[in-house]
Amino acid sequence: MENCSIIKVKPFEHQIKGMELAVNRFNNSSLYSKGFALLMEMGTGKTLTSILIAGKLYQQDKINKVLIVAPLSILGVWEQEFIKFANFEYDLKVLKGTLTKKRKELMSFKDDEKLKIAIVNYESAWRMKEELFKYDADLIIADEGHKLKDNRSSQSKGMHELGDRAKYKLLLTGTVITNKEIDIFSQYRYLDKSIFGDSFYKWRNYYFTMGGYGMHTPIFKKALTDEFQNKFMSVAYRVKKDECLDLPPITEEVRTLDLEPEARKIYKQLEDEMFARFKDDKELTVTNVLTKILRLSQVTGGYLPNDNDTESTNISTVKMEALIDIIDSAKQEDKKVVVIARFNNELDAIENMLQLKKIKYAVVRGDVKNRDEQILNFQENDDCKVFVGQIATCGLGITLTESSIMIFYSMDYSMSNFEQCKARIHRAGQKENCHYIYLICKNTIDKKVLRALRNKIDLAKSLVDDFQVGKKTSEE
């Protein structure tokens, strides 16, 4: 089987190289603990590269079981990427629900020749440590590996123990070091303890001196920079977007999220009420449809307005949690991001989150008067890491080329607004390929809106047609 036949698309050159480097290391019989780090920036396809690696090892009869550990908001991404790209037989289970349910699901794999893939979030992984020991994965993939930077956390300790038992390990992150070399130990303790050892204090005392107030601040010994970097790069492959010559100018990523059970119940109730009202309406109009589905879009954004639209109740946090994960990853890569949202309560929540996390940001929305000052701050101030924009008010006359990453937290139904917003980062002055991330709640109006906007379909007409044939927004 050739490289390109492991997956359903032709991989980029940097993805093939990453796969070959990892597999060559894993095939080195002189190594006992075999780990490899894919230090690939957001938008360069580290998930697809990992699927290539898993497929190649499976083809070589090196692995039968894979464990993928990732932030909760990314679990669905892995499932969708395997469906979309994997060209080999596999049985994949995303461990969801209560711990009891997750444990039962983990033990339900059939004893066959298919590659078995279990996907779980970090918080659950350490709580299910004993069950995961029994699952006995040949390959463990730690996605967004910077989540392991705290050597003392339960999830890091759990991953260290799991990693010690696995034959092969991958660590995926945009960059293993930002400005804190101290963060590398725990990640590499999981990956391969032969690189920096398994004693944090011994490692720290070698590479750092203690200074600052009370002598509690580790200060890296600059004289050891070359030795330090040579060691951590000895098991790593670094990929930057601007170095990928065959990467297209625009890449897109859909993060499919599951609404919480209570939020899903509210969504379905609203949808059923709307469907019953429209079912026998012989004069169904576009305006009526778009007005009614507005509330469904508000629910997927996390808020249920009252009947007068004067107040709203927060009923879901899945999009906010996903946004936090993305911003955290971008922060590790020292990248700026642009966040686009539609509704005021979403924008308020995003601003509140950034304030709580002490992340400096700029904002352009309907009630902001100093637009030019906000834009200039984002473009010229290195400390201003996030731009928050309201989709209806930041489509024209704005240049945001200091970022190459745009996150659509929510979307309105205007094709023009959608295209104009995307053009804020993809324009003259942009030095990198642009990456767009869409936060979509599974089986909701979100998917229909995104499909209509991307494929330039008349959303309103499409929805009217669906209603007339009895198809709900939650039906694929």
CATH of the domain at 422: 3.40.50.300
β-bridge mates for residue 168, sequence order: 34, 139
Task: Pick the last residue of a domain from 185, 215, 243.
Answer: 243
Adjacency order of strands within the sheet including 405-408: 250-257, 434-441, 405-408, 337-341, 386-390, 361-364
Per the domain annotation, does 160 fall within a domain?
yes
Nearest to 38 by CA among 50, 56, 27: 50
Per the domain annotation, does 300 fall within a domain?
no
Predicted confidence at residue 179, as pLDDT, reads 56
Residue 441, domain extent: 250-257+315-468
Per the domain annotation, does 217 fall within a domain?
yes
Predicted confidence at residue 273, as pLDDT, reads 86
Predicted confidence at residue 246, as pLDDT, reads 86
Please tell me whether residues 236 and 357 are part of one structural domain: no
Contact present, 318 and 339 (Cβ < 8 Å): no
Encode the chain (476 residues) as per-residue pLDDT tens digits: 445 589 999 999 999 999 999 999 999 866 555 899 999 999 999 999 999 999 999 999 999 999 999 999 999 999 999 999 999 999 999 999 999 999 999 999 999 999 999 999 999 999 999 999 999 999 999 999 999 999 999 999 999 999 999 999 999 998 766 557 898 999 999 999 999 999 999 999 999 999 878 788 899 999 999 999 999 899 999 999 888 888 889 999 999 999 999 999 999 999 888 888 777 666 667 777 788 789 999 999 999 987 776 788 999 999 999 999 999 999 989 999 999 999 999 999 999 999 999 999 999 999 888 999 999 999 999 999 999 999 999 877 899 999 999 999 999 999 999 999 999 999 988 889 999 999 999 999 999 999 999 998 888 778 777 776 767 776 65
Q: What is the pTM of this model?
A: 0.90
Please tell me whether residues 217 and 355 are part of one structural domain: no
Per the domain annotation, does 271 fall within a domain?
no
β-bridge mates for residue 166, sequence order: none
Per the domain annotation, does 460 fall within a domain?
yes
Predicted confidence at residue 1, as pLDDT, reads 43
Q: What is the count of structural domains for the chain?
A: 2
Please tell me whether residues 237 and 320 are part of one structural domain: no
Q: Count each helix (H run) and each strand (E run) in the chain, helices first.
A: 20, 17
Predicted confidence at residue 474, as pLDDT, reads 66
Please tell me whether residues 235 and 325 are part of one structural domain: no
Please tell me whether residues 374 and 234 are part of one structural domain: no
Predicted confidence at residue 342, as pLDDT, reads 96
At residue 31, φ and ψ (nearest 5 deg) are -95, 135
